[in-house]
Amino acid sequence: MRFFSRALTGLLLSALTLGLLAFAALTLEGALRDRAARDPGARAAREQVFAANVVTVAPRTLTPVLATFGEIRARRNLEIRATAPGRVVEIGDGVEDGGQVRQGQLIVAIDPSDAETALALARADLTDAQAERDDAERALTLAADDLQAARDQSDLRDRALARQRDLESRGVGTAATVEESEFAAAAARQQVVSRRQAEAQAQARLAQAETQLSRRRVALDEAARALDETRVTAAFDGTISDLDVSLGGLVSQNERLADLIDPGALEIAFRVSTADYMRLLDADGRLAARDAEVVLDLGATDLSSPATITRESPAVAEGESGRRLFARLEAPRGFRPGDFARIRISEPPLRNVARLPAAAVGPSGGVLLLDDDDRLTPATVEPLRSQGDTVIVRAPDLAGREVVAERSPLLGAGIKVRPLRQDAPPQEAGDGTQDTAEAEMLELTPERRAALIAVVESDRTMADDARARLLAQLREGPVPARMVERLEGARGG
């Protein structure tokens, strides 16, 4: 009996469950019918709209900047060498690696004993030569007087001969007397010839004495120069580098002692491509002395100096390409030979050009224009210069149009976009203005300003003029954001 009651209960529960399921199915079917009756048509697909940054093409005159790197070199670099062999007996005050010396200041003194002895001997030889010359002059004077006396004697004998001949013609004199007078006149003339020969010998002796005196004077000058060369002095104001000499050491002739560098005469040697080089030439095909700026990145700040391109390398070395140029630093304070610095050269201005982000221009110059319906249309511009993350292009037909600042695979012709425009366009770098990071100015709290001033004052590697310039900027008011980032990075936060 209990079995049948349980079976009936289970059958009743199963029937109730099936009934509930059937009721739920009918309810769901009714709901679907009601919905179909309210919205009989299918929902249309909605067009996808992408957000895109856009910039305006604004043609104007821009000055491209050619940026490259180079090495700072000394324009005046002198090797100091020993001009005489010997022992080093003195080293000038302040002569050490990095020491500053003035023109004419003593660098090294070599033992002058041998040179002083040679100078004393040269002076004695000069005195002997002067005495010999004086003796030769006196001998020449006496020879001239002796010749004059012989000539007077010859003239007297000639007059006596003439008188005897006159007496003979009048019958008063004799032939023997005339003959005797002729012998006397001939002997007098012979005496004149002998005295002339003696005078010539005296003149030759005087000439030899003069030559010997000149030689002794040259020897004296050479001995004096050898004595002067025992003291090596600075040829110009400069800095001592690579000093290799010690007190008491022996040096040989022409041995290298140190280098003398003029820190006020520096230049930068850099290399550019041939295409960039051609843009730096003037109408006559010569390298123009264009203005440039040399910048050395010091971390917290930049050390800069105006520069002028002065010359180019006459030949291209094997295995190299492009052109090697040199620019003179106009304000070299803080720079040192061997620094690896950046140089920025202003090229000739370009008229009616625009600056666009590099990501906005395709490899072949393609850009995406924004039309009145916010849809994209392809166009082409002429790329002229690459300036960092921007490109200078020529697009006279696109003046005032907006282009997509960053191309992507999702954007193409006919795509509808939601343009994102900047409130203020960034300042251009290369036409005499600064870039966005440089132009942004920050107002500092007193605590933050004091911390940055402390960083600058504690940095001993910074040049004095750079430190003074930074402190003046920090104390005046708003400061560039880039400078704040560098200073806070230098202090570790």
Residue 260: which residues within 8 A CB-CB, separation 6 or more? Answer: 77, 78, 79, 80, 101, 234, 235, 236, 238, 239, 240, 241
Residue (of 260, 284, 345, 362) closest to 310 by Cα position: 345
- What is the 3-state secondary structure of 417-484? EEEECCCCCCCCCCCCCCCHHHHCEECCCHHHHHHHHHHHHHCCCCCHHHHHHHHHHHHHCCEEHHHH
- Please state which CATH number belongs to domain 77-111+230-261: 2.40.50.100
pLDDT score at 299: 67
Is residue 98 left, alpha or beta, with left meaning phi > 0 and alpha meaning psi from -120 to 50?
A: left
Domain-wise residue ranges, the chain:
77-111+230-261, 114-228, 266-346, 440-490
Burial grade of 265 (CB within 10 A; 0-12, 13-18, 19 or more)? middle
User: How confident is residue 436, by pLDDT bands cut at 50, 70 and 90?
Assistant: very low
d(CA 185, CA 176): 14
Section 90-106 average pLDDT: 87
| Per-residue pLDDT tens digits for 399-425 | 888 898 888 888 888 888 888 886 444
Mean pLDDT check: name the lowest of 88-97, 136-145, 365-374, 466-475. 466-475
pLDDT for 183 equals 80
Report the 10 Å Cβ neighbour count for 281.
11
Strand order across the 250-251 sheet: 231-233, 106-110, 86-91, 250-251
Q: Note the pLDDT tens digit of each residue in 275-319.
A: 888 888 887 878 877 778 998 887 667 788 899 888 888 888 777
The more confidently predicted of residues 32 and 389 is 389
Phi, psi of 120 (to 5 degrees): -65, -40
Alpha-carbon span 295 to 87, nearest angstrom: 45
The answer to whether the beta carbons of residues 304 and 295 sit under 8 Å apart is yes
pLDDT of residue 437: 37
pLDDT of residue 429: 39
Structure tokens at 475: 């104390």
- The helix (H) or strand (E) run that includes residue 114 is helix 113-169
Tokens representing 196 are 């002339």
Q: In this predicted structure, what is the pLDDT of residue 226?
A: 87
Over residues 166-187, the mean pLDDT reads 77
pLDDT at 327 exceeding the cut of 50: yes
Q: pLDDT (tens digit, 9 = 90+) per residue, 458-489?
A: 776 666 666 777 777 777 767 777 777 777 66
Mean pLDDT, all residues of the chain: 82
Residue 439: predicted pLDDT:
42
Lowest mean pLDDT among 167-181, 258-272, 392-406, 419-433: 419-433
The DSSP secondary structure of 372-427, one letter per residue, reads: TTSBEEEEE-EEEEEETTEEEEE-GGGTT-EEESS--TT--TT-BEEEE--SSPPP
Query: Each residue of 28-50: pLDDT tens digit?
Result: 877 777 776 665 554 555 677 88
Cα separation, 386 vs 99, in Å, equals: 45
Percentage above 90 pLDDT, the chain:
9
Confidence of residue 440 (pLDDT cuts 50, 70, 90): low
pLDDT-derived band at 438 (thresholds 50, 70, 90) equals: very low
Closest CA relative to residue 367, chosen from 377, 359, 379, 356: 379
* Structure-token match 């002739």, residue found: 253
Residues in the chain: 493
- Amino acid at site 30: G
How many C-beta atoms surround the C-beta of residue 153 within 10 A? 18
Which neighbouring-strand residues pair with 418?
51
Beta-carbon contacts of residue 233 (< 8 Å; ≥ 6 apart): 104, 105, 106, 107
The pLDDT tens digits for 226-238 are 888 888 888 888 8
How confident is the model at residue 432, as a pLDDT? 40
Global pTM value: 0.57
Model pLDDT, residue 268: 92
Could you give the maximum distance between any two Cα atoms of the chain, in Å?
226
Position 431 confidence tier, pLDDT thresholds 50, 70, 90: very low
**Ramachandran bin of 104, using left for φ above 0, alpha for ψ from -120 to 50, beta for the remaining angles:** left
pLDDT of residue 44: 52
